[in-house]
Amino acid sequence: MKTNPLSRNVPIISIAPMMEWTDRHFRYFIRLITKHTLLYTEMITAKAILYGDTKKLLEFSEFELPVSLQLGGDNPIQLAQAAKIGEEFGYSEINLNLGCPSAKVKEGRFGACLMAHPELVAECISKMKATVNLPVTVKHRIGIDGLESYEHLWKFVNFVSQSGCERFIVHARVAILEGLSPEENRKIPPLRYKDVYKLKEDFPYLIIEINGGIKTLEEAQEHLLSVDGVMIGRAAYENPYLFAKADEIFFNDIKTSLSREEVLEAMIPYLENHQKNGGKLHHVMRHILGLYFAKPNGKKFRRLVTENMYKNPNPKEFILRLIQRMKEFQLK
């Protein structure tokens, strides 16, 4: 049984939406490690869903659920139509991206720059909520250039919540739209966790989730004393096995998690199917490189995988050989 992330008996623990990283292959892989953590797609623009290769963009395996579909856009009608399509594909929730600081996103007036337009955000949320029967959530920053104070954040959340949005995932950094790259915007603006805690104090009836710079489940537990949920991004991708204890710690599911080797073995049928359908092994295996993160032979594992994955080998032979080599390393 998968946990309904909206059941308020449990916190909302999630792995952040990350372009190029949290695609369906990564989500399948991480689902072998944690059953209950909420997963996100990469950001997909409403326009791409409406006018692009919808099936390719949205198709996923039920095994990945619960998954939130993250949309980018600033047109309420297009967003509502895209959300509806997402609902029909079986996504668990719809999330609107209000945190992405990239210039490409800014030109289209969506992402973080929308924080300057709460009335438009509210309209987008209202239209989506009226169109789908799924939770509609927003992911945003604590502010943007010129709108950096807690007071602005408070006004933004106050206004947007009146459109019926009940869940706010807050990256605890300001996004500097002029002068910093997206990568710098994830490192340079200081983390202001206290602003997110204060939001929860000021809006106790809203669900407030915190994001930014959280690296361990112990840190997540600390944050949960002040907010309803924790989203982890880079640390989850770099060190996916970090989540092996998540089901037990946060969701009281004490079934023993798979060992790293069992996770690898469980990937064999998925890889075989992917290859059979014309996919290449490296599309999937590139997401697995962190499986032995910080273990004595973690670097050897990365090397073994990267040296071989582009040759598109037979999945079963490749994985069984990897497991055997890792066992040999451990004996040495």
Ligand X SMILES: Cc1cc2nc3c(=O)[nH]c(=O)nc-3n(C[C@H](O)[C@H](O)[C@H](O)COP(=O)(O)O)c2cc1C
User: Quick one: how far is CA 179 from the chain centroid?
Assistant: 26
Q: Is residue 21 involved in binding ligand X (CB under 6 A)? A: yes
Beta-bridged to residue 38, according to DSSP, are 14
Q: Is residue 11 involved in binding ligand X (CB under 6 A)? A: no
* Residue 152 token pair: 């602005």
Task: Check if 165 is active-site.
Answer: no
Alpha carbon distance 11, 5 (integer Å): 8
Alpha carbon distance 43, 2 (integer Å): 24
Applying CB under 6 A, what is the total number of residues that bind ligand X?
23
Q: Is residue 233 involved in binding ligand X (CB under 6 A)? A: yes
Residues 6+ away with beta carbon under 8 Å from 112: 98, 99, 100, 101, 105, 106, 140, 141, 144, 175, 177
Of positions 18, 30, 80, 208, contacts ligand X by CB under 6 A: 18
Binding part of the chain for ligand X, among 15-23, 120-128, 152-160, 221-229 by CB under 6 A, reads 15-23
Of positions 19, 50, 147, 206, contacts ligand X by CB under 6 A: 19
Binding mask 188-227 for ligand X (x = CB under 6 A): -----------------------xxxx-------------
- Say if CB 75 and CB 53 are below 8 A apart: no
Alpha carbon distance 74, 113 (integer Å): 10
For 6, 28, 278, the CA distances from 48, given in Å and listed in that order, are 28, 23, 23
Binding mask 22-61 for ligand X (x = CB under 6 A): --------------------xx------------------
Query: Which of 100, 113, 124, 165 is the catalytic position?
Result: 100
Of positions 47, 117, 198, 234, contacts ligand X by CB under 6 A: 234
Question: Which residues between 81 and 140 bind ligand X (CB under 6 A)?
Answer: 97, 99-100, 139
Residues that bind ligand X (CB under 6 A): 16-21, 42-43, 70, 97, 99-100, 139, 171, 186, 211-214, 232-235
